Structure 1
């Protein structure tokens, strides 16, 4: 029996997300990102395709590492301009019944108390379909925008994140007891004060004495996503994450990361099924291999190599404009996405160059596309699940909406025939759909923080 694959659309509330330059394609509609109807139509399409959700990336700074300037990012719409994804989710939720929403929020620059309220509000408004992609950031431009001279060191950001998580867990899980809300019109009692508690948190980074402002939402804590594959990132994922987002060119390499995270999670007292792993993938498909190849050749005519280098430079924290095309790139210690540098070094060797990098970015990103007939792509997806132990995929957009229309119309029926894709949605919250329960299990770190609060 094949495992049921989970699939998210991977996007951002902007023009150019991962595949740089494809917004220029005549059939691409991503420049309509300012129109709320674009997003509600998008949500309906994904739900018709039985997607588990849409996973929204986000950044709080501009990509100004390449050439020490934001100019190339602005010219190529490299994730700028970018809007707040949390504000479009309620409209998308109103247009759908089952689609989940994973939203990236950078905890480094978010006040925990206010952020906890925002997530609870979204969980209420979506009827329990919200997830949070926990990130600590990787852009010095974001740090400067928030009033800091530069970012905190990579591993130190994860230390801050551990405390942040302990605090928001207390707000979501321990402030309001189940049964606190009575909504008794006859007595005039809406909430029982004896069942609503002030949270007392006095840590290295945060000092909070307050009750959570929201009554318990369907999930209390949103479904927790995390995308760090560095050594410190894996430790964080093993402790907190329910869904882990990974990238990789080889099944063996991804399997090593997945096995390490799963093993560490078991050491922390979690169960084997507590973490689902999503692999990033870019799909170009058609009814035949030839049709898919023709589509790929059409797409690649719109790729921007400069924009691709702008994105890569920011994510690695290396000014690639400083290096000639065949000059080895110096990968000094970076405070950006450490796992991206490690992945490039594994793929191209320690003396990789801009030319080697550009050879990989055939569709404007470092993620090599899967090109082929729907049967071929279905084979690939099932092989990755079997050989790399991933549970699903975050499908990066190429030309929208046709890339997701193609997946729905061509690939989904094949996966369904093979027993590898759902034929209908399960009822309940996003966590119900993924894990069979609306709330975090007692073995999760959230409940450790809750027990400490109540002692």
Structure 2
């Protein structure tokens, strides 16, 4: 498909993490914030039910395996401000949330750097079975040096080499989930005493630069076989990886102009990879503060800002960019000539962030911006005002929807469901019911499995037999 669909509904994902505060360091102190309950089942099951009521595509659960100790070279600030630490495993949340919902999807973050693809493929298939096909995998290559050190390495691999490593990681995953078991390998023949037909299960015989996996997958095919592939890298190398693998991409751009440019690049890259321009759902990060009227929403926003912890925000920025923000003064700006082995697109985002004057934001202004909801744009207003603004973003940038961060949780999401979703539905800009089937079918309406144009199709048995 080269042209945009004639009518597209805006799509929502909720952006959260199995930690305190996530993108809003300091807001855990707000009396209505429940993020400190992150280590209870009740927090997550309630959130899942709120999101399903609001017809969200899914809950996108971020993750890190290290601490944000780039800022000042220590853990002191992230620990004190709860800047994504303490943080628990995201995978263990999904089954509980799936048990209390029927349609909500779950995009779970996991890196390619530190876990072998063989056991990880089993974890993906297991969750896809248990959720009846409502799982997606957000593929990350890692960016925190602290994670690399604690996994026995001096530092993480160089930025582009991390993606080369990830390319082979994906190849192993695809071979295991797409090319090892035939669709009808499991026969469950009670009369003959045969559960699985051995002739229909095949070794993948993978031997590459990074991995050697000779044998079979040890899970039977799940509803989607390969869960929906999410990806968030917007660097040049990350975009190439996304074009070949991702079905949903999360991006962050401070302005509509920059977002439009990023969306176009992603769609161009998908087309260059032999896929349709709209074979990728693109979600832009956004934080919404809303209420029954504009004045109430603005008052909430001002209150939220009073709780923000600017040191915690700078610790997050330092981790995202790989640049120690403690070496800058509050009135300095991030210069052009900086090198990063972290999230290169984040460096570009913060370099381009500016206020109404068009001048680059100072370190203090960046911290204030990140302090409530992270480094995505913030939309404040009544439900109708927010709905109108979100429609403008979609119409002007060709983005599919929004990855919604929170100021407080679950309050931010509850407000969106109560005030924004009905207004979008009045505009016929948001669905009024879920599409049937798996997460992949809900997103694209083309069935449960990856299409023939996707890279994974090259590793299916029928494709290998044709070689």
TM over 0.5: yes
**Over residues 79-109 of structure 1, what are the superposed CA-to-partner deviations in whole Å (9 max), with x where a residue is unaligned?**
1110001001001001111110000001111
Shift of 1:453: 4.7
| TM-score in terms of structure 1 length | 0.97
Aligned equivalents of 2:159, 2:276: Cα separation in 1: 28
The gaps in structure 1 that reach 5 residues or longer are: none
Aligned equivalents of 1:186, 1:245: Cα separation in 2: 50
Task: Show the counterpart of 2:347.
Answer: 341
Greater alpha carbon shift after TM alignment, 429-438 vs 340-349 = 340-349
- Partner residue of 2:323 out of 310, 313, 318: 318
Determine if contact 2:267/2:278 at 8 Å carries over to the other structure: no
Determine if contact 1:361/1:368 at 8 Å carries over to the other structure: no
**Over residues 256-295 of structure 1, what are the superposed CA-to-partner deviations in whole Å (9 max), with x where a residue is unaligned?**
1111111121122112331110010000011211111011
Determine if contact 1:200/1:453 at 8 Å carries over to the other structure: no
Q: CA RMSD in A?
A: 1.6
- Partner residue of 2:424 out of 415, 422, 445: 415
Shift of 1:5: 1.2
Superposition pairs for residues 321-332 of structure 1, below 5 Å? 321-329=326-334, 332=338
- Partner residue of 1:355 out of 359, 364, 371: 364
Task: Show the counterpart of 2:108.
Answer: 103
1:104 match: secondary structure: strand
Asked if 1:251 corresponds to 2:244, the answer is no
Task: Show the counterpart of 1:136.
Answer: 141
Determine if contact 2:353/2:360 at 8 Å carries over to the other structure: no
Determine if contact 2:23/2:371 at 8 Å carries over to the other structure: no
Aligned equivalents of 1:136, 1:155: Cα separation in 2: 10
Aligned equivalents of 1:272, 1:341: Cα separation in 2: 27
- Partner residue of 1:425 out of 420, 431, 434: 434
Aligned equivalents of 1:322, 1:179: Cα separation in 2: 60
Give the aligned length.
455
Task: Show the counterpart of 2:45.
Answer: 40
Aligned equivalents of 2:374, 2:224: Cα separation in 1: 35
- Partner residue of 1:442 out of 429, 444, 452: 452
Determine if contact 2:12/2:56 at 8 Å carries over to the other structure: yes
For the structure 1 residues 49 and 235, does the alpha-carbon distance in structure 2 shift closer, same or farther, using more than 3 Å as the test?
Answer: same
**Over residues 382-416 of structure 1, what are the superposed CA-to-partner deviations in whole Å (9 max), with x where a residue is unaligned?**
11111111111111021111111111111111111
For the structure 1 residues 426 and 227, does the alpha-carbon distance in structure 2 shift closer, same or farther, using more than 3 Å as the test?
Answer: same
Determine if contact 2:310/2:368 at 8 Å carries over to the other structure: no
Aligned equivalents of 1:359, 1:298: Cα separation in 2: 13
Task: Show the counterpart of 2:3.
Answer: none
Asked if 1:401 corresponds to 2:406, the answer is no
For the structure 1 residues 353 and 293, does the alpha-carbon distance in structure 2 shift closer, same or farther, using more than 3 Å as the test?
Answer: closer
